[in-house]
Homo-oligomer: A and B are copies of this chain.
């Protein structure tokens, strides 16, 4: 039986790009299901049965559900070992995982502060109190509920922006240091670390273009990775992302 892969994703959202890029780099065909975040389709009861956190992406492989983009990507590399995206050397693999963790714990929250302000705040402000309360009640994760409430009110605090900007500085600095040791973040090999960090370098450089000027190795890495065919196919608008 041929493997059947399905990906529920939100097109150009950062974690969706992480798993879409992994699939494309490995040459794995999949059925694409677009989940419209601005219509809160990620809170639909049918979707919550797949992903109780109400997050994108979700992978369904021969009927088995795998959640969390970083977990999905390690899973894909384990189950489909051709075109590996993880170093076989355990030390390099540990270095890769440090960057994957940094993407999740520093990259994603730092991106959300400016991005949600830009993409969600106006929509939330226009909602009636009843509509808004329904959205909050249907949001599974407590940290997301609190962020939506902040946006509906005063917006994120200066402290929250300071923390986000500090995390952007940190990720650029760590990339710049890592790239002393090779063309890719985990060394000689292009890995899940590059795939995990890319959405955030992409997002940070939109918010703060000056960061790229101050980090020349990271700027070179960025030019190199953006030229990859799979990256172009993932990051450029397409039929798969058109609804975004």
Contact = CB atoms under 8 A, between A and B. Distances in A.
Interface of A: 64, 66-68, 70-72, 74-75, 78-79, 90-91, 93-94, 97-98, 101, 104-105, 141-143, 145-146, 159, 162-163, 166-167, 169-170
B79 A97 contact: no
A48 to B, nearest CB: 13
Q: Report the copy number of this chain in the oligomer.
A: 2
Contacts of A66: 91, 94
28 contacts: A64-B91, A66-B91, A66-B94, A67-B98, A68-B97, A68-B98, A68-B101, A70-B97, A71-B94, A71-B98, A71-B101, A74-B94, A75-B91, A75-B94, A78-B93, A101-B104, A141-B170, A142-B162, A142-B163, A142-B166, A142-B167, A142-B169, A142-B170, A143-B167, A145-B166, A146-B159, A146-B162, A146-B163
B97 A71 contact: yes
A87 to B, nearest CB: 11
B167 A70 contact: no
Contacts of A79: 90
Contacts of A163: 142-143, 146
Nearest to A140: B170
Give the 8 A-B residue pairs with the shortest CB-CB distance, closest first.
Answer: A142-B166, A71-B97, A75-B94, A78-B90, A66-B94, A71-B94, A79-B90, A64-B91
A71 B92 CA distance: 11
A216 B71 CA distance: 28
Contacts of A142: 162-163, 166-167, 169-170
